[in-house]
Amino acid sequence: MKILVAGAGLFGRTHMELLVGQGAVIAAADPVVALADRARADFGAETGPDAIALMDTFRPDGVIIAASAAAHLPLAGAALARGIPVLVEKPVALTSKEVARIGQLAAASGTFALPGHVLRFSAQHRALASAVHRSTIGPVLSVTSRRYRDAGHALRYADIDPVLMTMIHDIDLAQWMTGNHAVSARADRVRGRDGRSVTHATLRDSGGVLWQLVSGWTYPGEDAPPDRIEVLGEDGSLELVVGSGLTSSAAGRIFHSDPTEDALLAEQTAFLAAISTGIAPPEVTMDDAIAGLKAVEMVLADLGLVGSGSA
Ligand SMILES: NC(=O)c1ccc[n+]([C@@H]2O[C@H](COP(=O)([O-])OP(=O)(O)OC[C@H]3O[C@@H](n4cnc5c(N)ncnc54)[C@H](O)[C@@H]3O)[C@@H](O)[C@H]2O)c1
């Protein structure tokens, strides 16, 4: 199978390594020529500065869009116009309108766009969702999620807000756990030196459930505490500490995380299988991605950053 990776930065390279491991023939595009050259040297990729030109010469079976977020809509549009399925990294685009546009283009293309909400493919998060959806804790009252990243994020992703870049994961998790979408948001942010920040957001969803989400770009190294999500119901609670396991208030540890698990590999495998069958993977839809961006916009609006998409 031939896959074009648009964007040969940090995450594009992670995708490429996994693709090569799966036996895919790859091409890589990045306007930064040194990054494209590195992808050729390290992964044997056919390379070029222009992803859309490579769509016509390399003629991929699928495109993985791991470019900067501002480039997602034009790249996805170009692939879909050629009838090529796309996996679009999160954030799928900068605004809910842009995500909706990708959804429209996918619907008209005869193929599909898969939002890169990788946690939907993670076994430990799937165990949590399954326990919630089986009503083991009764009707859900609240979802609490914490995600801290290293302070380098503030420099590496200076042009994109932490809500769009990082909290989007927690928003999508809350949507998945509850089956609802956000209807209102309150948020606040504290800033530290060199762009460090921590953002607290409280959202209310369409079923009346409260989401309390915290994202920080604060840690001096890679040693941030693990991501943690707690779902509180009328009859108990469930807590996932990523990398450790899932604990139920009633039954103790009910799932042990597999340290070798690779959710991105699972997501890629689902994407490649969907290319072969022509049927979009069911785990996450463009409607989920649109609802997620609407929630991002509510949080940014309460932070006074509406329409900017940047901190
Ligand atoms: N799912 C996850 O957990 C996860 C983790 C990290 C990054 N990501 C996402 O992956 C994407 C890339 O992130 P990154 O960390 O690699 O960022 P990065 O800045 O390291 O790389 C982005 C690359 O895209 C390139 N680019 C810009 N416009 C382009 C275009 N038109 N065509 C081709 N390439 C173009 C840039 O030159 C840059 O090299 C972002 O959307 C990010 O949010 C997702």
Within this chain, do residues 127 and 87 fall inside the same structural domain, yes or no?
Answer: no
Classify residue 288: in a domain, yes or no.
Answer: no
Range of the domain at 154: 120-261+294-302
Between the CA of residue 209 and those of 125, 223, 230, 234, what are the distances in Å? 19, 32, 13, 11
Closest CA to 32 of 18, 19, 17, 13: 13
What's the total number of domains in the chain?
Answer: 2
116 CB near ligand 1 (under 6 Å): yes
Classify residue 127: in a domain, yes or no.
Answer: yes
Within this chain, do residues 109 and 87 fall inside the same structural domain, yes or no?
Answer: yes
| Mean pLDDT, rounded, for 39-46 | 98
Nearest atom within ligand 1 for CA of residue 264: 1
89 CB near ligand 1 (under 6 Å): yes
Helix (H, G, I), strand (E, B) or coil at 203: strand
What's this model's pTM, rounded to 2 decimal places?
0.97
Q: Is the pLDDT of residue 252 over 80?
A: yes
Phi, psi of 30 (to 5 degrees): -155, 135
30 CB near ligand 1 (under 6 Å): yes
| Mean pLDDT, rounded, for 183-201 | 96
Q: In angstroms, rounded to a whole number, what is the distance separating the alpha carbons of residues 185 and 305?
A: 13
In this predicted model, what pLDDT tens digit does every residue of 287-311 receive, in sequence order?
999 999 999 999 999 999 975 444 3
Within this chain, do residues 107 and 58 fall inside the same structural domain, yes or no?
Answer: yes
Within this chain, do residues 228 and 131 fall inside the same structural domain, yes or no?
Answer: yes
Q: In angstroms, rounded to a whole number, what is the distance separating the alpha carbons of residues 70 and 102?
A: 13
| Mean pLDDT, rounded, for 29-37 | 98
Which residue's CA is the closest to the ligand 1 atom numbered 7?
Answer: 11
Classify residue 254: in a domain, yes or no.
Answer: yes
152 CB near ligand 1 (under 6 Å): no
Within this chain, do residues 168 and 298 fall inside the same structural domain, yes or no?
Answer: yes
303 CB near ligand 1 (under 6 Å): no
Residue length, the chain?
Answer: 311
| Mean pLDDT, rounded, for 1-19 | 98
Residue 304 backbone class (left: φ over 0; alpha: ψ -120 to 50; beta: rest): left
Within this chain, do residues 68 and 188 fall inside the same structural domain, yes or no?
Answer: no
In this predicted model, what pLDDT tens digit does every residue of 52-111 receive, in sequence order?
999 999 999 999 999 999 999 999 999 999 999 999 999 999 999 999 999 999 999 999
Which pLDDT belongs to residue 307?
Answer: 57
Q: Is the pLDDT of residue 128 over 80?
A: yes
* Ligand 1 geometric centre to CA of 72 (Å): 9
Within this chain, do residues 142 and 233 fall inside the same structural domain, yes or no?
Answer: yes
35 CB near ligand 1 (under 6 Å): yes
Q: In angstroms, rounded to a whole number, what is the distance separating the alpha carbons of residues 11 and 17?
A: 10
Classify residue 185: in a domain, yes or no.
Answer: yes
